[in-house]
Amino acid sequence: MLKLIQGLSTAKMGLGLTRGLATAGMGLALCSGAHAQDAHHATARPPYYAYVTNEISGDLSIIDGRTLKVVATVPLGRRPRGIVASPDGRYLYIALSGSPIEGPPGKQRGPEPPPDKSADGIGVFDIASGSISRVIRGVSDPEKLAVSHDGRRLYVASEDTGNAVVMDVASGRTLASIPVGGEPEGVRVTPNGRFVYFTSESANRVSVVSTATDQLVKQFGVGQRPRSIAFTPTGSTAYVPGEFDGSVTVVNARTQTPIKTFYLKPSAIFHPLVGAARPMDMLVSPSGRWLYVSTGRAGAVVEVNLKTDEIARVAMTGIRPWTIALTPDGRRLFAANGPSNNVSVVDTATFKIIATIPCDQGPWGVAVARARRR
């Protein structure tokens, strides 16, 4: 209880800093060479925060983008995982689940407690006030989620039902529930806003849902245990990781058809403790030239040259980096390292770790949003 009180007090104090933050830039050196295309050359930029969901401790770590330190820890609810910011930057939508945490596939564990379905929902976090304003109920065991470009709908992966759930933000109503295969996780809206891609971990496939009709329009196979989706800025190409086989499936997003598969070579990112890559989360750089990949048990985030499909650079992080997020200018990448209880910050120009930030227990999801004043 003391910890929660301290967390709430710290949250109010830390978020109050947003009212006094200036909009000066953070003084980062401009990138050189090809990577300069991924930097915005503005002389002044609004400050931002990185928001990290801690799955085990059930709270949110808020990181100041200027100091790279946690300025607040806010209680959320049971097992927060997926997190996404609203298009207007006013809210964070956070998946909360009362289902017990499961171990890696194939690992024997003792009997699990029954799910607490009353804890399931989507927490709506008001960024300006620094608190949960309401919880949208009606979705079972949500894992990851996305928001429509107009901010009116949420697209949620319901892990235990195998459904893609479409929800109205204002009313909280469930508009559709679409079977997409076992253990859906990755959710991403296409850059043109016309479709949503959902990955199914156990079915090894991607399901494409129309945002106009909320109906399934296509499914296609990908690598083993897909965990996420990344699109190029133009929306012409999608990339889907296969965690178990180290694959990356390249998809023509205009025809929704896989066109090739390449593999992350274990020798290129060997970690002395855990070995080969397990690609999990992916993002494409603002220039569209680089693919950033978290590699799970390989303990690294890697940069892939999308012209050659080869790993260009490696940044060794904490144990098992899971979700990653880029700052608005593309200069910094945040990686949530679950078992390490910390977040790594990568400078994308040098691809070096510039900070390791302690968080609470089990950092899982991360989102970056600009600071807002009340």
Residue 8 counted as domain residue: no
Higher pLDDT, 106 or 152: 152
* For residues 261-283, average pLDDT: 73
Number of domains in the chain: 1
Residue 35 counted as domain residue: no
Q: Tell me, what's the pLDDT at 108?
A: 53
Residue 173 counted as domain residue: yes
Tokens of 252: 């023509």
Q: How many CB atoms lie within 10 A of CB 325?
A: 24
- Secondary structure, 3-state, the chain: CHHHHHHHHHHHHHHHHHHHCCCCCCCCCCCCHHHHHHCCCCCCCCCEEEEEEECCCCEEEEEECCCCEEEEEEECCCCCCCEEECCCCCEEEEEECCCCCCCCCCCCCCCCCCCCHHHCEEEEEECCCCEEEEEECCCCCEEEEEECCCCCEEEEEECCCCEEEEEECCCCCEEEEEECCCCEEEEEECCCCCEEEEEECCCCEEEEEECCCCCEEEEEECCCCECCCEECCCCCEEEEEECCCCEEEEEECCCCEEEEEEECCHHHHCECCCECCCCCCEEECCCCCEEEEECHHHCEEEEEECCCCEEEEEEECCCCEEEEEECCCCCEEEEEEHHHCEEEEEECCCCEEEEEEECCCCEEEEEEEECCCC
pLDDT, one tens digit per residue, over 304-329 is: 999 999 999 999 998 899 999 999 89
Share of the chain above pLDDT 70, in %: 82
Higher pLDDT, 372 or 281: 281
Q: Is the pLDDT of residue 14 over 50?
A: no
- How far is CA 144 from each of CA 80, 96, 298, 366, rounded to the nearest angstrom? 10, 10, 22, 11
Q: Tell me, what's the pLDDT at 88?
A: 94
Q: Is the pLDDT of residue 78 over 80?
A: yes
Q: Is the pLDDT of residue 43 over 90?
A: no
Give the domain CATH number at 79.
2.130.10.10
Q: Tell me, what's the pLDDT at 370?
A: 84
Residue 51 counted as domain residue: yes
- Distance CA(334)–CA(49), nearest Å, equals 11
- Distance CA(278)–CA(319), nearest Å, equals 12
Kindly report the pTM of this predicted structure.
0.86
| Nearest C-alpha neighbor of 175 from the set 185, 165, 184 | 165
- Distance CA(359)–CA(255), nearest Å, equals 41
Q: Is the pLDDT of residue 53 over 60?
A: yes
Higher pLDDT, 372 or 79: 79
Q: Is the pLDDT of residue 5 over 60?
A: no
Residue 9 counted as domain residue: no
Give the pLDDT band of residue 2 (cuts 50, 70, 90).
very low
Q: Tell me, what's the pLDDT at 35?
A: 62
Tokens of 124: 């709506």
Residue 186 counted as domain residue: yes
Sign, CA dihedral 252-258-261-264, equals: positive
Residue 28 counted as domain residue: no
Q: Tell me, what's the pLDDT at 47?
A: 84
Instruction: Say how many residues make up the chain.
Output: 374
Q: Tell me, what's the pLDDT at 220?
A: 98
Q: Is the pLDDT of residue 29 over 60?
A: no
**Structural domain range at position 65:** 45-101+115-370
Q: Tell me, what's the pLDDT at 280?
A: 96
Give the pLDDT band of residue 73 (cuts 50, 70, 90).
very high
Residue 74 counted as domain residue: yes
Question: How many Å is the Cα radius of gyration of the chain?
Answer: 19
Give the pLDDT band of residue 298 (cuts 50, 70, 90).
confident
* For residues 138-158, average pLDDT: 98
